[in-house]
Amino acid sequence: MAKRVWRRERDLTGWMSLSRKPEVTWYGWDGDRLTTIQNDRTRIQTVYQPGSFTPLIRVETATGELVKTQRRSLADALQQSGGEDGGSVVFPPVLV
């Protein structure tokens, strides 16, 4: 597997050239699976089926929206929203 280190773009005359504006892209890996791609504009996260390379869900978020998002864990969200029966969800301190 190779990593992309530059991008070619067509200019107005139709010639291929290296992009003049540098763009930083971050890649996140879980073993051999590409899980996150983030640049100045977007973040793309992919969740895979356990033990396979089959994607289950892909979430694409504008980077500007990430700044507005309150950071919290899944455990926090479940504790605040409650369980399926409407009761509160309690996790052991090790998991929170």
Instruction: Say which residues have a Cβ less than 8 Å from residue 45's Cβ, sequence separation at least 6.
Output: 35, 36, 58, 59, 61
Residue 93 domain-assigned (yes or no): no
Residues 51-92 have pLDDT tens digits of: 999 999 999 988 776 666 665 666 666 666 666 665 666 766
Total domains in the fold of the chain: 1
Q: Is residue 92 part of a domain?
A: no
- pTM equals 0.50
- Please report whether residue 2 resides in a domain: no
On whether residue 94 sits in a domain, the answer given is no
What is the residue range of 63's domain? Answer: 8-86
Domain presence at residue 91: no
Average pLDDT, the chain: 75
- Tokens of residue 69, six digits: 């998002």
Does 63 map to a domain? yes
The answer as to whether 76 is a domain residue is yes
